[in-house]
């Protein structure tokens, strides 16, 4: 992790300090994703089959969940099954309680304006896989979608050596999902966007992934008639703001918990204490040594920063400038910082609030905006799988009262047909 003193940096130095790893969106990656999307869009199932065979090493397959889930209940540790069931219960409880309610307002006598929430008909969910199939992401996506009332959920995930990971199958069972397509990467996003074989085109695609998946989501959402996406959700990132009351060993463990995700993941420490920064840096080096994913973590740490600030107010400013996916507030009194933070995907307030709890079983979704998108985007909620429709009900009396002012406003914009349509209600 690169040590930096915030007060010593000018504007360009601060921008460089908070820059994401450049490999997340290199020209080669953008071009590679574009080629895959074009191929699947024009070639359909045959193109998807060919690309998946080359990249995933297996043909795309719709795998029935029930047999694998049943076997998983026999093979997985009992405490892991119980923990997954607890996670599912907490996530379901939070999102069912978060459903929005319709709003109806009489803005003037006889004019009733309503905002009515409706679930999406179908969504495509991407669940990261490969070396570490993230069953937790399936829970974090599907349970909010179910709470919203989505009728059709299409799930894709990269294949494992056995086809479908047992833990993902068990998570699917807990979500009531009967089958999952084993296909990953940009080609899976293409299939969800355009449809391919038995994979239907989806009006919205949700879920995190590596840089290829994130770029594919960005590109398909920009197409005319393309699907909506939940957010930019690429490689993981974590910022920890810590004071002298924090444990250096615990903070180091938190940083490494995200560094082990991906070589493109980024972790940042922000503290007002030079001695504490040195202690955390030493702990990171000590703890990374025996991690099973130490090589990945070390590559991620090359993008890491250990930033010294004058005070916690400056730390909040750094956090708002960076807009982290995850923000841990490892301070004695986190509430003033919570109120000062406007840009973050999720905040973990206080020494006991581990980011790992949020990853698995606190209840809110761990699918969060990355790459600074938290300045404007939210993480997955039940709202992500719904849309609001405005409804206007107008009495004849209100129509007559509205006709003249509406016509006046229309003519102010030189839209005569609008004005006449309003005046038609004046009679």
- What is residue 152's three-state secondary structure? strand
Residues of the chain with pLDDT > 70: what percent?
100
pLDDT bin (cut points 50, 70, 90) of residue 24 is low
Spatial separation of the C-alpha atoms in residues 136 and 18, rounded to whole Å = 29
Give the pLDDT of residue 23.
62
Task: Measure the CA angle with vertex 61, ends 180 and 140; round to 5°.
Answer: 20
- Domain 25-99+121-230 has what CATH class? alpha beta
| Strands, E assignment, 231-331 | 237-242, 266-271, 305-308, 326-330
Q: What are phi and psi of 330, to 5 degrees?
A: -90, 65
Domains 25-99+121-230 and 235-375 in one fold: yes
The per-residue pLDDT for range 351-362, each reduced to its tens digit, is 999 999 999 999
Side-chain-side CA neighbours of 199 within 13 Å: the count stands at 34
Judge contact between 214 and 236, C-beta under 8 A.
no
Instruction: State the pLDDT at residue 2.
Output: 96
Q: For the chain, which residues make up each domain, given as ranges? A: 25-99+121-230, 235-375, 395-423
pLDDT at 117: 98
Is 303 an annotated catalytic residue?
Answer: no
pLDDT in tens, 45-68: 999 999 999 998 899 999 999 999
Q: What is the mean pLDDT of residues 217-242?
A: 93
* Candidates 237, 260, 325, 355; catalytic one: 325
Does residue 130 surpass a pLDDT of 80?
A: no
Confidence of residue 427 (pLDDT cuts 50, 70, 90): confident
Task: Look at residue 54 in the predicted model and tell me its pLDDT.
Answer: 95
325 is catalytic: yes
- CATH number for the 235-375 domain, one of 3.90.1510.10, 3.90.228.20, 3.40.50.1980, 1.20.5.440? 3.40.50.1980
pLDDT at 135 over 90: yes
Catalytic residue among 326, 351, 355, 366, which? 326
């Amino acid at each position: 992790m690169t040590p930096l003193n915030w007060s010593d940096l000018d504007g360009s130095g601060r921008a460089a300090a908070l820059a994401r790893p450049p490999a997340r969106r290199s020209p080669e990656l953008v071009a590679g994703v574009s080629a895959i999307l074009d191929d699947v869009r024009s070639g359909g199932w045959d193109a998807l089959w060919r690309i998946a065979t080359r990249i995933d090493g297996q043909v795309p397959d719709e795998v029935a969940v029930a047999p694998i889930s049943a076997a998983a209940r026999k093979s997985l540790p009992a405490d892991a099954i119980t923990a997954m069931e607890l996670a599912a219960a907490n996530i379901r409880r939070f999102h069912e309680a978060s459903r929005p309610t319709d709003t109806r307002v009489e803005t003037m006598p006889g004019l009733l304006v309503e905002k009515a929430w409706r679930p999406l008909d179908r969504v495509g969910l991407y669940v990261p896989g490969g070396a570490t199939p993230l069953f937790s992401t399936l829970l974090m996506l599907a349970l909010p979608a179910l709470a919203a009332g989505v009728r059709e959920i299409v799930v894709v995930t990269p294949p494992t050596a056995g086809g479908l990971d047992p833990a993902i199958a068990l998570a699917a069972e807990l979500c009531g999902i009967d089958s999952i397509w084993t296909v990953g990467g940009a080609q899976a996003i293409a299939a969800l966007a355009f449809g391919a074989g038995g994979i239907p085109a989806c009006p919205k695609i949700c879920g995190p992934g590596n840089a290829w998946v994130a770029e594919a989501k960005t590109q398909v959402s920009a197409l005319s008639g393309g699907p909506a996406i939940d957010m930019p959700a690429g490689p993981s990132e974590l910022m920890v703001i810590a004071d002298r009351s924090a444990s250096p060993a615990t903070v180091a463990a938190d940083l490494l918990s995200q560094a082990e995700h991906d070589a493109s993941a980024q972790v940042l420490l922000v503290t007002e204490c030079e001695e504490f920064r040195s202690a955390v840096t030493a702990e990171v080096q000590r703890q990374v040594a025996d991690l099973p994913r130490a090589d990945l973590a070390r590559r991620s740490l090359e993008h890491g920063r250990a930033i010294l600030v004058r005070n916690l107010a400056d730390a909040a400013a750094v956090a708002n400038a960076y807009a982290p996916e995850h923000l841990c507030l490892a301070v004695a009194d986190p509430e003033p910082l919570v109120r000062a933070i406007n840009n973050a995907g999720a905040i973990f307030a206080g020494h006991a609030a581990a980011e790992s709890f949020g990853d698995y079983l606190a209840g809110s979704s761990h699918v969060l905006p990355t790459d600074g998108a938290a300045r404007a985007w939210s993480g997955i909620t039940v709202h992500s799988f719904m849309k609001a429709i405005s409804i206007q009900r107008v009495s004849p009396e209100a129509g007559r009262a509205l006709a003249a002012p509406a016509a006046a406003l229309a003519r102010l914009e030189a839209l005569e047909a609008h004005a006449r349509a309003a005046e038609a209600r004046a009679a």
